[in-house]
Structure 1
Amino acid sequence: MYEFRTIDGPLPVMAVVDERLSTTTVCLSSKYGSRDDPSRDCGLAHVLEHVLMSAPVGPVPSFSEYVERLGGHANAETGLDRMLFYAQVHADDAEEITGLLQHAVLDPRWDERTLPQEKRAVFQELATAAADPSDVVQDAFLDHLFPGHPLGRPVGGTRETVERFDVAAMAAGHEERLLTAPLSLIVVGPAVPASADPLLAGVPATALARLGTAERDLASLPAPGPEQPVRWPDEFAWVCAGARSVGNHDPRRPHFNVLAQLLGSSPSSVLYRRLRGEAGLAYAFQSWNRGYGETGAWRVLAGVDAGNGDAALAVIRRALEEIATDGPKPDDLDSARRQAQMRIFTSVDAPLECARFLALRSGGPADWSPAAEVANIAAVSAADLREAAAQVLNGWRAVVRPEAP
């Protein structure tokens, strides 16, 4: 059995302690994401993430390389409203790596050679994403859902914005945005390393004094872009459809999560039976809900062949309309709740996924825990799903890529 702990301090800690584990996963989470970048510097957070993981730290050439040489795994990711930096290592290396991670992220050494190298990597990442319509369509969907708003901007920025960044811009973004955003440390392992305390890890007091001192500027949400006819191409395409949902810490978030399972890609879902089984209109599709600070996005992503697009969207809408009117059947509701709960169980059971799961939920109610999340899902009712489905239908938007001219 694992023990879930929260520890207050200059860097709050969320920990899952399981003495049976032979590895320790440590994750530093910052509530600085791409939405917090100035509009002319879109992509700054993403490039900064690359630089911090690849720059020299302490006596080693880079945090990522050092962890991998120990046989561990290190990575980082930037989202719309959060950055994660994490590593999974043998428990014997946990003290050193936990302290080193904090130095890499909170007290970096700026190196003129690292930035050009990582900008080239980002250019390749942007090119890869631009060549994948299933990726492009999601950016287009969020842009349509949040027009002119930071949540509608691409996380990675553009080649033009990335090209302008210099070391001074990296240092300013780190000092003014990453450090001052709320941060937390997540540990999953047989014990909590003493170096989880940044003072014991030797992080300078000047850096710690700035942690969490700034409030996120939540720009007012504009109305979604006007609903427009979908221009289907004469080829296979990806369609992303859905609507705004609720924020990450809104008590209704589990309702939209369960709705995503009810219309997900599992053979137990309503949509699987209709879209793939009965109509044979889509093979690859998925549904999910993502909460941000003040709002969220519920969506379905489906790959459809030429000539099947309108019919596929009609099947999805009919399923939502039936749920909004009559609610789900009891056995379908029970299955969707179990699917949503199982996603939590499987995340908690895998140390690295557990750390990411906790990181994405840090900063919420003080009494939150994985067990509380499971209980909240169990309490989702048919009436809750009727309201969630009605909200999705009311804000419904659909975008396709590639798009016919």
Structure 2
Amino acid sequence: MSPLQRSEAAIRISRLPNGLTVATEGIPGVETATLGVWVAAGSRNEREEEHGLSHLIEHMAFKGTERRSARRIAEDIENVGGEINAATSTEFTSYTARVLGQDIELAIDVLGDILTKSVFDATELAREKNVILQEYASIEDSPDDVVADAFMEKAFSGQAIGRPILGRPETITSFEAGIIRAFMAREYTPARMVFAAAGQVDHGRVLDAVATTLGGIPAAQAPEPAQGAYTGGERRMRRKLEQASLMIGLPGVSFRDPSYFATHIFAQALGGGLTSRLWHEVRETRGLAYSIDAFHWPFTDCGLFGIGAGTSAADLPALVDVVTATARQAAQGIEPAELARARAQLKVAMLAALETPGGRIDRAARQLLAWGRIIPAEETIAHVDAVTVEEVRAAGARTLAGPPTVAAIGPIKGLQPLRDIAAAFAA
């Protein structure tokens, strides 16, 4: 049995009576414990008037509970040398901590406290909304961030899945404690929650502590988010900048789709490294951009394929021509050597992420929420190794046949019309 297989054999999974899942993995030789709660609710679960609420809740998590002030939350964790954090994405929100193994009960108590007993004090809420408005302003000053938000909004036009996670000033300023509590009661249900821990952990200790702190959350049926549907479209923002930032998108696939691995490998071969086709043609051969990459973002029920780069106003038309031609050529002619390299790169990235307790609990929580089980690394590697050249070419052809998304900012007067870009991919 390999070290990875031994590690995965040590994973234990239990479910509390209210439906919350608890997963632990003891890792020999590790003195710390990394643990946290993942909730299958993110920005795509928000109604229009709730835009940005998930992110605000993440910010408010550490701002005081019925038992602890904001100061005490930080002190209780940092007094034992620990750290605590939270993050919001399109489909998930997580609350995590890292402490010594001897302090897991304390960390679980703090995490349970902030998820079940937060007071959302009006003064703290006003202060944190202002912090988020400052964060929003900083993003507006970053062309790369602005174009990325516009890219998602146009790829999934008119849908929550495409809206920026931060929200908008008009929605951010409208939130009050009652709205937060209503959202959490609706979306933070035990069946949508996984508590995962790895490192120096004992399953029984973790299970008992989680049952005490989170076992009282009432079981409830949460509404399913609206089905995501790729639309395509464009947003062009002409600004006086030194460079044009450009993102071109095409329809991707869900991580549940049979062609998921082939689509991911196509993105890797096209623009996933220094040996990729786009890097070679755009950067090394023609010098049209400092960097360029292709990516595939899968979600539960849809996906987004994209290419991103920055270039000068003079080189922008040539960059688009090279990108579309290179992508078309890749879809028609990915070679076995490219497939082998992309496979290896994906496997290294996946296995490297599993070499830390944080990476292991993130994998465990997300897979339990998505699949109801933890998928062994060997099973995923087998899927990657089974992908054929023909499947990668077919995935590339399907991707390029979809309607494009274009988001661009800066000196972009010379950027080709959307219909011409679509025709170039399909040629």
Partner of 1:376: 383
Cα drift, residue 220 of structure 1: 6.1
Which of the pair has more CA radius of gyration? Answer: 2
Partner of 2:419: none
3-state SS of 1:287 partner: strand
Q: Which moved more, 1:368-377 or 1:134-143?
A: 368-377
2:388 and 2:108 mapped to 1: Cα distance? 42
3-state SS of 1:362 partner: helix
Answer whether contact 1:139 1:153 (CA < 8 A) is retained.
Answer: yes
Letter in 2 for 1:31: A
Alignment deviations for residues 253-306 of structure 1 (CA, whole Å, 9 cap, x no partner): 222222222133522322222221111111133332222121011212212122
1:68 and 1:312 mapped to 2: Cα distance? 50
Partner of 2:128: 118
Are the structure 2 counterparts of residues 252 and 196 from structure 1 closer, same or farther at C-alpha, using a change threshold of 3 Å?
farther
- Determine if the alignment matches structure 1 residue 390 to structure 2 residue 397: yes
Partner of 1:43: 52
Partner of 1:298: 305
Are the structure 2 counterparts of residues 360 and 153 from structure 1 closer, same or farther at C-alpha, using a change threshold of 3 Å?
same
Partner of 1:338: 344
Alignment deviations for residues 21-46 of structure 1 (CA, whole Å, 9 cap, x no partner): 12211121111111111102200111
- Determine if the alignment matches structure 1 residue 130 to structure 2 residue 137: no
Partner of 1:20: 29
Are the structure 2 counterparts of residues 383 and 67 from structure 1 closer, same or farther at C-alpha, using a change threshold of 3 Å?
farther
Are the structure 2 counterparts of residues 88 and 249 from structure 1 closer, same or farther at C-alpha, using a change threshold of 3 Å?
farther
Cα drift, residue 181 of structure 1: 6.4
User: What pairs with 1:1-400 in structure 2 (closer than 5 Å)?
Assistant: 1=3, 3-4=7-8, 5-10=11-16, 11-56=20-65, 58-59=67-68, 61=70, 63-64=73-74, 66-179=76-189, 182-197=192-207, 201-203=211-213, 205-210=215-220, 213-219=221-227, 221=229, 223-225=231-233, 235-326=242-333, 328-365=334-371, 366=373, 368-395=375-402, 396-400=404-408
| Alignment TM-score, normalising by the size of structure 2 | 0.85
2:407 and 2:200 mapped to 1: Cα distance? 46
Letter in 2 for 1:18: I
Alignment deviations for residues 74-95 of structure 1 (CA, whole Å, 9 cap, x no partner): 2211111111111222222223
Cα drift, residue 8 of structure 1: 2.9
Identity of aligned residues (%): 24
Say how many residue pairs are matched.
401
Unaligned ranges ≥5, structure 1: none
Letter in 2 for 1:217: P
Answer whether contact 1:95 1:193 (CA < 8 A) is retained.
Answer: no
Are the structure 2 counterparts of residues 222 and 261 from structure 1 closer, same or farther at C-alpha, using a change threshold of 3 Å?
closer
Answer whether contact 2:279 2:293 (CA < 8 A) is retained.
Answer: no
Letter in 2 for 1:250: D
3-state SS of 2:173 partner: helix
| Alignment TM-score, normalising by the size of structure 1 | 0.90
Q: Give the superposed CA RMSD.
A: 2.6
Are the structure 2 counterparts of residues 265 and 123 from structure 1 closer, same or farther at C-alpha, using a change threshold of 3 Å?
same
3-state SS of 1:148 partner: coil
Are the structure 2 counterparts of residues 286 and 13 from structure 1 closer, same or farther at C-alpha, using a change threshold of 3 Å?
farther
2:292 and 2:79 mapped to 1: Cα distance? 38
Cα drift, residue 64 of structure 1: 4.7
1:263 and 1:18 mapped to 2: Cα distance? 37
Are the structure 2 counterparts of residues 127 and 322 from structure 1 closer, same or farther at C-alpha, using a change threshold of 3 Å?
same
Are the structure 2 counterparts of residues 394 and 200 from structure 1 closer, same or farther at C-alpha, using a change threshold of 3 Å?
closer
1:402 and 1:229 mapped to 2: Cα distance? 9
Letter in 1 for 2:370: G
Answer whether contact 2:237 2:410 (CA < 8 A) is retained.
Answer: no
Answer whether contact 2:230 2:304 (CA < 8 A) is retained.
Answer: no
Letter in 1 for 2:57: L
3-state SS of 1:117 partner: helix
Answer whether contact 1:79 1:155 (CA < 8 A) is retained.
Answer: yes
Answer whether contact 1:26 1:88 (CA < 8 A) is retained.
Answer: yes
Are the structure 2 counterparts of residues 145 and 94 from structure 1 closer, same or farther at C-alpha, using a change threshold of 3 Å?
same
2:15 and 2:391 mapped to 1: Cα distance? 37
